[in-house]
Amino acid sequence: MDMSLLKYLTLESVTTDLRGSTKQEIIEALLDIIVKTGKVRDRGSALDSILTREKKMSTGMENGIAIPHGKTDAVEELLAGVGITKHDVDFNSLDGKPCRIFIMTLSPSHRTGPHIQFLSEISQLLRSEEKRKKLLSAADSREILRALAERD
């Protein structure tokens, strides 16, 4: 599998110390990491797009992973961030379990291709219990990227 998702992540857009204890706080903290890239024109509309998507259906998946995402005119290209929390966060997940691995994407309203591909890669990737363990035990951003890059 081509890890194209790695081309969307940098040391600055991943963290092993995502702050927040509620769904809203986690979403805002992860969005702030992406906003620091300088590629988000309007944080407010980006946040709205994520929260609107979240209201339709929770992006808390299974196995402690949530993938909040939004489509917005505030970005020109797919942007992504990954955050790991030190503690469990209730994200209203499909399996009812709390989350600790959060992967956010923002994509332009008018393009679907990269966004869909990214989400499918993420879901394949995170089916691996080994991979999830590596992400949860990562000491720093570099280790997160290394864990994501490894082939199983």
| DSSP states of 26-86 | HHHHHHHHHHTTT--S-HHHHHHHHHHHHHHS--B-STTEE--EEEETT-SS-EEEEEEEE
pLDDT of residue 2: 43
- For the cut 60, the answer to whether the pLDDT of residue 1 exceeds it is no
Range of lowest pLDDT (44-53, 112-121, 137-146):
112-121
Q: Which helix (H) or strand (E) holds 98?
A: none
Averaged pLDDT, 127-147? 93
Instruction: Answer yes or no: is pLDDT of 128 > 60.
Output: yes
- What pLDDT sits at residue 152? 59
For residue 145, the one-letter residue type is L
Tokens at 67, concatenated: 């993938």
Q: Are strands 69-72 and 65-66 parallel, antiparallel or unpaired?
A: unpaired
Prediction pTM value: 0.92
What is the structure's pLDDT at 127?
A: 84
In the chain, where are the structural domains located? 12-144
Give the DSSP H/E element, type plus range, for residue 100. Answer: strand 99-108
Percent of the chain with pLDDT over 90: 74
Q: Report the distance separating Cα 45 and Cα 70, nearest Å.
A: 10
The CATH label, of 3.90.1300.10, 3.30.420.40, 3.10.450.50, 3.40.930.10, for the domain at 12-144 is 3.40.930.10
